Chain A
Amino acid sequence: DAKTTQPNSMESNEEEPVHLPCNHSTISGTDYIHWYRQLPSQGPEYVIHGLTSNVNNRMASLAIAEDRKSSTLILHRATLRDAAVYYCSQGGSNYKLTFGKGTLLTVNP
């Protein structure tokens, strides 16, 4: 099965950038990289996704390594509302979207 690896937890200060890493050891050429986050007591919500090149949206940026074995979710200015568990995943032709254990992001005021 596809597997992603993330740090268990990270900490940041409010209004500072945060870089959340993910390793995609078994990613194939057609797999998209997805990031979701889960705020306390809520269902996961979509953050961003990409295939090969870096992506930006209003929530975050996604940097994808040239070999696609790793990706980094970038929150440019963390806020207290960004405190959540962040999941990276990869999905492709086998239809299975595999989530890791996620990274618990703590944002300090």
Chain B
Amino acid sequence: DSGVTQTPKHLITATGQRVTLRCSPRSGDLSVYWYQQSLDQGLQFLIQYYNGEERAKGNILERFSAQQFPDLHSELNLSSLELGDSALYFCASSVGGGLAKNIQYFGAGTRLSVL
């Protein structure tokens, strides 16, 4: 158990809908990262928050947004969903904000199916 909690584990929805994925980091970790994993693209970095502020952005679509709340949990919002958004979404956390040497601890993921 990594200590990172993601909910829900599975999510099934229809095209055009909006969903929210939630992540609670390990106790004491200030950074939260979001990743998308699909069969053809591998593990893709989406976005990072550190202590409530956006720190880095990857290949995140404009239809996707995220935030980190004062209690450090984070939410990833996916809107106007398309079939191609079906994937595993992972959250990770680390103590520090820099990626140079911080170890990331990953949650078990949320499997999103868009029908």
Chain A residues with a Cβ under 8 A of chain B: 30-32, 36, 38, 42-46, 49, 51, 87, 91-102
Contact = CB atoms under 8 A, between A and B. Distances in A.
Which are the 7 A-B pairs with shortest beta-carbon distances?
A91-B99, A43-B106, A95-B56, A99-B43, A101-B42, A46-B103, A44-B106
Interface in B63-115: 90, 92, 97-109
A87 B101 contact: no
Interface in B7-51: 33, 35, 42-45, 48
B91 to A, nearest CB: 9
A2 B100 CA distance: 13
Given A96-B45, A99-B42, A100-B42, A43 B99 contact: no
Nearest to B31: A95
Given A95-B55, A96-B56, A97-B99, A42 B104 contact: no
Contacts of B97: 95
Contact of B100 (A44, A92, A100, A101): A92
A94 B2 CA distance: 25
Given A93-B100, A99-B45, 8 more contacts: A36-B106, A43-B2, A51-B101, A95-B56, A95-B97, A95-B98, A96-B56, A96-B58
A46 B95 CA distance: 14
Contact of B108 (A43, A92, A98): A43
17 contacts: A30-B100, A31-B100, A32-B99, A43-B92, A43-B106, A43-B107, A44-B43, A45-B106, A46-B105, A91-B100, A92-B100, A93-B98, A96-B56, A96-B58, A99-B45, A101-B42, A102-B42
Contacts of B99: 32, 91-92, 95-97
Contacts of A98: 45
A5 B100 CA distance: 19
B1 to A, nearest CB: 11
A30 B99 CA distance: 10
Contacts of A43: 2, 4, 90, 92, 106-109
